[in-house]
Amino acid sequence: MRDYIEIKRQSLSYYTEAPFFKSLKRAAKEHGYKGFMSTTRYFFNRMSDHCLQSLAGGMPFTGVRVKLQKMRGVKIGKHVHIGTQVKIDNAFPNFCIIEDGVSLAGATYILTHNKPLVYHKNLTEAYVAPVVIKKNAWIAINVIILPGVTIGEGAIIASGSVVSRDVPANTIWGGVPAKQLKEFKMENGIPIGYK
C-alpha cells in the first residue's frame, strides 16, 4: 500500500466543450497516454472503467465490489468494506487510496479531480489530487469526499457529510462542510469513549 506515495497533485486543463474526437484526444493526453493509437487505447480503457464502476455499484457482495474497484486502479488494502452504489472518481480512480480495515457505506462519492469551466478559471484551480482514507476509518452512508483530502486513521465521517479538508485520526466529523464533532479517548490503540 505504500506505492501511493508517488501519487501527487497535478494541474489539469479547464473544461471546454469540444467535438468528441478532439475531447477524446485531449483526455488521452491528460491521462498520460502516448504513442501509437493512444486515443484508441484511452477510449477502450475508459469504457472498461465505466463498465467496472457500474458493475461494482450494483453488486450484492462486498468482496466482488472491492475486486472490481481494484481492477479500475483504486488502491485498496485488506479487510475493506465497500457498500452498494459507492462511486469512486470516474476519471482518475487511481488517485484513490483506501487502507486496511476501512468501511465505506453505500452511496458514498469520492472525487479525486476538480475540472471547472474555462469561464471559472480565475476562481478555482483545475487539478487532480489523491484521496487517502487511512486504516480503520468509517465513512457512513451518503458522504462526499473532495479531491486532495486525507481521512485519518480510525476517523468516523457522519452520514450526509461533505469532506473538503483533511480529517485528523480518531475523530468524528459531520456536516456540510464537515467539521470536527468529537475526539476519541484511546487506550492501547483502541477507542474507548469520547474526550
User: What's the predicted TM-score (pTM) here?
Assistant: 0.93
> Which domains does the chain possess?
21-182 (2.160.10.10)
**What span, in angstroms and rounded, lies between the C-alpha atoms of 126 and 133?**
22
Q: Report the pLDDT value the prediction gives residue 6, as an integer from 0 to 100.
A: 72
Place of cell 457512513: 140
Q: Are strands 81-82 and 113-114 parallel, antiparallel or unpaired?
A: unpaired
Chain position carrying cell 465521517 = 157
Do 112 and 98 contact (CB within 8 A), yes or no? no
Q: Taking a C-beta distance cutoff of 8 angstroms, is the pair 144, 158 a contact? A: no
- Spatial CB neighbours of 77, under 8 Å, sequence gap ≥ 6: 1, 98, 99, 100, 101, 102, 135
pLDDT given at position 5: 55
Q: Rounded to an integer, what distance in angstroms lies between the CA atom of residue 174 and that of residue 176?
A: 7
pLDDT of 69 reads: 98
The per-residue DSSP string of 92-117 comes to -GGGEEE-TT-EE-TT-EE--EE--B
User: Residue 49 corresponds to which amino acid?
Assistant: D
CA-nearest of 108, 120, 124 to 178 is: 108
Ranges of residues in the chain whose predicted pLDDT is under 70: 1-5
pLDDT recorded at residue 120: 94
Helices within the chain (DSSP H only): 20-30, 38-58, 62-72
**Dihedral angle, C-alpha 84, 130, 151, 180, nearest 10 °:** -110
Position 4 scores a pLDDT of: 56
